[in-house]
Structures are given as structure tokens and as C-alpha cells.
Structure 1
Amino acid sequence: MPFHLNILSLEKLVPVEKTVSSRIPEIKRELYRTGYQANPLLVSAEEDGRYLLLNDINCFEALRAMGIKSAVVQEIPDECDDSNFLAWYHLVGNFNLEYLRGLSEILHLKLEEIDYDAVWNKEDELISLRCTFIDGQSYRIVPRPGELIGQVSSLNSFIESYQSFSMHLKIYPDRLFIESSEIFNLGSALILLPFYRHDQILELARAKVLFPPDCLNICADNRVVGLDFPLQVLNSPVRVEEKKAFLRELLRFRMQSDKSTVYGGKVYFMGKSRHQKVRASEPEDIKSPDSGLYLE
């Protein structure tokens, strides 16, 4: 299948993030209104025949709630490296140093003051959160030494705590963008989430440790967007081989008519992720990998 596209039973998909139940009704309404799955779900194959579901967890749950039994997916190939496994940054409102210290103490996390430039160090191998305030005060939030599952669970509790009482936005993981814009004025603190390797995400999924919403930011080369696969075909009783044949023809038709795009660089799904809201689109069938693509 071109671009590692496939049609899989939803029963084979193992989510790695928690759903946001309040978003499900809106997604269901959108699916009912359009009758399409807009973009393939992103998955990674496991050895036992199941697949890690790496994005669009809420869409997955909406499809299940509608009684849809399968979905179009795009598989991350085995040769994909860990540079494709990123994380969002969270801009958090009503969050100050007092809250930071209090949460860290309650959750038994170590708080270390660090230099502002160290906040942006992507080579930091330590599993930790990094937090910086608008005045430049910066801290690293470190779990107790131990196994991966315990450390990540502690950090997840921290994230879920501020998500529960503060407004937060997930924003592009790019220092230049953040510092050159006025986006920091929309919040009180910027929290940088850890980058997890593929094998770590797999270990956590097997242990049923789910990340809070809006944490993982997974990229795939040659990402297909704007496919608009009919839900009626997904739910039809025909054999899966026939559905895959339809998928191949649909992709060919939509690319020829410039309605679907295969994008060579990073694709950031910010929300509803409708292809019609792609920013800065280019005319080529396969987009350049030199810049990011942001889907609203």
C-alpha cells in the first residue's frame, strides 16, 4: 500500500494517550456531518499483531462510539528513528512559582533551578519536565530515581494536575517561534515535556501507562493528509481487501485532483485537523521537508 497506508480493525489499536471525553461529541458531529475520516490515524506496529495508536485518540474513540469497526491508518515504518517522537510544549495560565513548588512537593518531585538556556536543551537525556516563567526563572522537575514506569507516572500526575485547574495550550515545539511571537503573554508559564523514545513509549503502553492528553507529538515522513475516506466504506460488510483496493484508488484520484497531499516534513495536528485548514500549502504533490505543516 502506498505511503504505508492500511485499514485496520479498531480492536487492534492500542492508544498511548488518554482521551478527552468532552471533545468526543464534537468530533462525532463532525464525522456525521462530513461522512468521512479526514486523515489516517498514525500507528506503529507491535510484534503481537497489535498497533500503538500514536495520535487522534479522540477521533478513535468517536469512531468506536459511532459503531465504526475499522479505520484508515498510516504506519510508521520500522526504520523510523526517534527524531520522529517529539512532545508538545504547554503554555499554562494561572501558574506561578508557588504552584510549581507546591505541586512538586505533593507529588514528591525534585525541583531544580536551571539556567534559561538549559530549558531548551533537547539533548537532555534526563526524564523530566522543564518550566520557565515569563521573567526567565527556569526549573527542572525531576521524578525520584527508579524504573521508567514509576518516573513517567509521577510526571503524568504533575501534568494532569495543572491541566485540571489551569487553562493550557499546546504550542509548536520551537524556541524561535515562541521567543519571536507574543504567545507567552497568553500564559504564565511554559512547560516543556520530555521526549520519549519509541521503545519507551512501547514499554509504557504495554504497562497500560497512558500519557495525559496533548503530550505526544509524533511525526511521520510522507504524511498523507486530506484523504477523506468514506465512513460508509469503512463500515460496509465487504472484505478488507476490497476496502484497501478502494483506498488505493481514492488516494490516486485525490492526489491527481490536488485534494490530498503527501507531505515530506513534520505535520502538527493542532485540533480538528481538517485538510482544508492547512497553512502555507505548496503546489507540489510531495511537500518539502524543510518546514512544518500545521493543521488546525
Structure 2
Amino acid sequence: MSHGDLCLRLTGVSARLGGHPILHDVTMTVVPGELVALVGPNGAGKTTLLSVMSGDVEPASGRAELDGIDLHRWKVAALARRRAVLPQEQRLAFGFRAVDVVRMGRAPWARRPEEDLDDVVVAESMQRTDVLDLAERSFPTLSGGEKARTSFARVLAQQTSLVLLDEPTAALDIRHQEQVLSEARQLAAEGHAVVAVLHDLTVAAAHADRVCVLAGGRLQADGAPRDVLTPDVLGEVYGHPVDVIDHHGRLVVLPHLIDTRPRSSTEEAACGSARS
């Protein structure tokens, strides 16, 4: 299949974890050529939704389909050749070299013609994520950001049509945040479908084609950044007022500051008069 044949469709999906309801009646579609950002407050269900999209969590109700087939019906190896997942935490404890971790992304292509490209793909993926100089380092000795970039290189090396990224910029400095999201945008431009959980709303506005806002396990908004990232929507979802500013054509989301300074007796008296 080409990238263009891919379609990820969720229809009325609800999900439970540990007996607790997490997602409620989520319906959305992801197609090739777009970068979709999942945003929302802590506990909104973003990681669970990504796990449903990957096939790791089966919906309690509704349907989650990839190419028209329920995700839980896919064979493991076939699914690994169609979608790659960057988890929120990098939990490898053994002393694999960084290059070995990236090479793990090629496992789904073992004993297939694509296996002949392993060395080239691994080197290219490490170059794209700026970790070539870490190739011989033991993975557990890397910093959080170095682990994140190495794991992203593994995802690139897997060469799948669907790419799912859970907080890919969380441990990165500004330069590497831009580098990783530029690579994600490039994947979308090449015809991949990319979904990324992001906490920085300004970053989501700058890079995403679509923004899906989750709150309380429900999809509250889904659309272009300018249509979704508004003071009204964000203020209601996050329970905190925000300003959305157009800065040279790019949206910047700024939360209102909470004034925690101790007030003088004069200020307290003025506030009391205003309230009365």
C-alpha cells in the first residue's frame, strides 16, 4: 500500500483503563498528508486516545479502524509495518547502543526485501534527528533529550505510513524541538499521516494542520489552528483565561498571569470597595 491508501478512523470510541472511563464517544479521521496535534489539559485522555489509534488499547465501545480493518484484528507484524509509535517515556533499561535502539525500528521489515536498506535507513534516520554522534553510546547513559531524539530516530527508521508521537518535544531544548517537529511536518509533506500529543499550544499552532482539543475524555474541538485555538475555547477547556496573539502570522497563546504578590492594606481596601 502507498501512504495515500491509509485512513485511520475512530467512530464513537469510548475507552476504559483499570475499570475507569477515560474516553467518551470520540469520532475523528486521520488521513495522509496532515499533522494532527492532540492538545488538552492533564488527564484529558490524550495518551489513551493515541493508544487506541495504535491498537494498544481496544475501545470499550465504538470502532477504531486502520484501512477499514478494526485495529485489534491486525496481525502484529503487519501493523508494525503500517504504524510506528513514540511513547511518552523511554523505558529501555538494558545497555543497548543508541544505534541498536534505532535499528529496532527495522525489525518489522526482517526477512523482506526492505531489509536490504537497513543500514542506509538507520544512518539517515540518525542524521535527521542529530544523534549520529551518539551511535556508540549506551542508551541508559543518554540524557532525557538524547533518549527522546534516539527514539524518534527509531520511529523514522520504521518507515510507516502512520506515525504516532506522544509528547515528542517534552525533554528537548528549543533547537531540537523545532528540529523534531520540522521532521514531523516533513513526514506529513511526504504523504505520511502524523498525530502528535503536544502540550505547548503555540508550538501546536505553528506546526499542525489540524488541532484536536480533548477535555474530560471528549473531543471538544477539531479543526484548523486558527479556528480551534481561540480564547473562548481554550479558556473553557483549561479553566484559565488566555490571550491568543497573531505574531507575524503565527499564533501565540499566552495564559493570563495569576497575581500572587501580597497586597498592601491600601490595595485590599481598594479591592473591597470595588467588590461592594
Shared fold (TM-score, shorter chain, > 0.5): no
Give the TM-score normalised by structure 1: 0.31
Which structure is larger by alpha-carbon Rg, 1 or 2? 2
Give the TM-score normalised by structure 2: 0.32
